[in-house]
Structure 1
């Protein structure tokens, strides 16, 4: 019997790829993407690329188009024009299911755990696409609970009764159970105390070090502490790529964000 079932019964950094550039080692390439909601345009030609093994931060003020970009990448919003490529395949018009099957997994803003299911069941939901590979699921569960030891203690607890920080950890853990090659985390720090935010970003470092490429969608400039590249977004476009010392230079970051 797996740990999930038992709990249920109890209830060196790679160099950056600048926006607009092309690179043979890019895992994700977004080119001239335009998109929006209904007849309202939000993205006005987004260009970005992320290499295998990087942690990238898509940084911008509220309304810049960050989440809309992520939704296009993971197939939950239609791309009007432009192209998206993942691992050399054109994924521009793929469904969300097909993207998940390929390894593009998004942890949405606001955590969105299933509050009336316990922690173990939430993790089972995350592993649904991998359910036929039981050995991998069991192994990944142990890895996830190593990242988040507090969740191990709460496997039988209803997700809705967890603290905000614990729910964010559960949301990321659930995403990891889907076997991501690219993990997109939308606003991981939103509404959390600074000490919890630090814990979350430290875990992102570990996830990346274990081979998962990560894209953080953030307004919190503190996320740049874990980044190999910072992509600054403004009014539906990526306007600057921050690399190297620029990532730690708060003046450069502020100037990039404020234009």
Structure 2
């Protein structure tokens, strides 16, 4: 899940993602292999690989699985995956960006187009919606690392551009911190933050919307079905959107 929305939106999705852990591991492995193949197989020397490994660790992916994915690239027996981006509109004109790693562009394009068409949206041309987003680096921490002031101070010291904190209400909903940085500074800032906040849950390139759209109760169900369908596709790595969903609207999903 990668839309611009509140923490409970993510928590709504978490249960479903937990049930699909093996599929999630497969996607994480694919990103690790591609990152290792494109650069050095050492995470300390390859920022993209380091980010992929950190993401895998955050999802409790076993160390053996991570190492196998790296070794697969090192041995030269990895599939040739291509990075592809799709852009389109969901229900009520919500802007959606889909990032994929695929070994078959025709298959992936067909699946993505079908997902949009069956869930109140339509796939657009390249550049159709990305002009409404900013390409940035995103560093994610759970709310348990500290309050808003602590994270804000650490982020400023590390050279971040913006911080969005959504503090939770207990152990089951610890909240989260999203720290936004320039693309070029992503891994440098992440390293600095590790010194004060520990290892991040996620370090990645992201699409941050310039303006967000509030989703109403009539739209949220179809939107979530579209995002779910896209994320269920094996080739899709991330889905970004310009939507904001309030707690009240999320509660209508049950």
TM bracket (short chain): under 0.3
- Structure 2 length as normaliser, TM-score? 0.27
